Structure 1
Amino acid sequence: MQEYLDFLKGIGKIRKFEKNNILFFEGEKALKFFILLKGRVRVYKSTAGEKEITLHYFTPPNFIAEMPTFKRLRYPANAICEEYCEILEIDFEDFETLCSQNKEFNFLLISSLFEKIKILEKKLLENSLDLKS
């Protein structure tokens, strides 16, 4: 993974975020590919009553919101920096070029997506157990 991070740093831009800075809001168009290099990011949904439901905490190194970026969708949730963070941002066009030219990177991306599926499965199980209580 470190070899790819070093390569990606050459095509992206490292941005620094202070604690409580918002990375993105639910509903915004996903235009950047994010990789968390340092810090901790919380992804959450807001309910109508302004309650926040945490979906997951990300620690480095980790891809963030790769699915909406890849599919050119809007972000399905909000992301906030829980502490000082360094995040590598890559424009979609550069990300797309990388995917079309590097199969090893594609395997890393697929692996990351599988991890997100596992996270969602766990969250669904937790919520279904809460409903039964």
Structure 2
Amino acid sequence: MNIDKDLLYSFGAENKIYKKKESVFKEGDHVVYFFQIAKGKVKLNNYSEEGKEFIHNILGKNQSFGDALLFLNQYYPMNAICLEESEIIRITKDNFMEMIRKNPKLSLEMNTCFSQEIFYKLKMMQSMASENPIQRLKGVLDYLKSYHDGDCTHCFPIEFTRQQIANLVGLRVETVIRALKKMEKEGSIAFKERKILY
């Protein structure tokens, strides 16, 4: 969800600069703000008891995170960590709710975004249940591409490292590399300057 910055500022939003590797929030923190990235990249993740990382998503400029949790009286079920120095617009939960009440059209737009996110997450979960690594990769690539406008072949650059992709799909990085090579031979992806194009 990308909300007009002027609207956010008119309801008391502020910009905050975070350093690379700095946490925006941690798993278990109480939900306090709506966050929208003005500049930089943020990863949403968890760590298992054994310390293995699971990445839920990596977000960039004009993308928001934690929005759905503002409507629940819960804690964050994940971490938000900056992958590079990032400038993030944040607005308190109370001010955010007032903004929604005074702008009902915004509420409808948010419902559309939440519905799309749920749809693609369900599709991705279906793929993740597969033992086939290529099926898992296609599921996550489709999910990532869902944030991209346009329907084209090999035009969407995947901005993740092979390790980050492995953490997204729950596979070893070596398995991901082999599966990506097979997908390239099949023509479902292309490589350009070490980037994956889907």
Extract unaligned runs of 5+ from structure 2: 134-198
- Going from structure 1 to structure 2, the CA distance change for 1:8 and 1:79 (only over 3 Å counts) comes to same
Q: Which of structures 1 and 2 has the bigger CA Rg?
A: 2
Distance 1:118 1:50, change over 3 A: same
Q: Aligned with 2:81: secondary structure? A: strand
CA deviation digits over 1:77-127, x for unaligned, max 9?
111001111111101110110111102221332233234314422441332
Amino acid at match of 2:91: I
Structure with the larger strand share:
1
Q: Which residue of 2 aligns with 1:6?
A: 6
Residue 67, structure 1, aligned to residue 77, structure 2: no
Are residue 85 (structure 1) and residue 110 (structure 2) matched? no
Q: Structure 2: how far apart are the matches of 1:20 and 1:59?
A: 15
Deviation of the 1:3 alpha carbon: 7.3
RMSD: 2.0
In 2, Cα distance between equivalents of 1:84 and 1:40: 8
Please give the alpha-carbon distance, in whole angstroms, between the structure 2 residues aligned to 1:27 and 1:115: 26
SS at match of 1:29: coil
Q: Is the 8 A contact 1:56 1:119 kept in 2?
A: no
Q: Relative to structure 2, which stretch is displaced further, 77-86 or 121-130?
A: 121-130
Identical counterparts, % of pairs: 22
Q: Does 1:21 align with 2:28?
A: no
Structure 1 runs of 4+ aligned residues shifted over 6 Å read none
Q: Figure out how many residues of one structure are paired with residues of the other and give that number.
A: 132
Tell which deviates more after alignment, 4-13 or 39-48: 4-13
Q: Which residue of 2 aligns with 1:38?
A: 39
Give me the whole-angstrom Cα distance separating, in 2, the residues matched to 1:13 and 1:44. Answer: 24
Runs (5+) with no aligned partner, structure 1: none
Go from structure 1 to structure 2 and tell me whether the alpha carbon gap of 1:40 and 1:118 turns closer, same or farther (over 3 Å shift): farther
Q: Is contact 1:44-1:77 (8 Å) kept?
A: yes
- Take 2:64 and 2:31, find their aligned partners in 1: how far apart are those partners? 13
Structure possessing the higher relative contact order (Cα contacts under 8 Å, 6 or more residues apart): 1
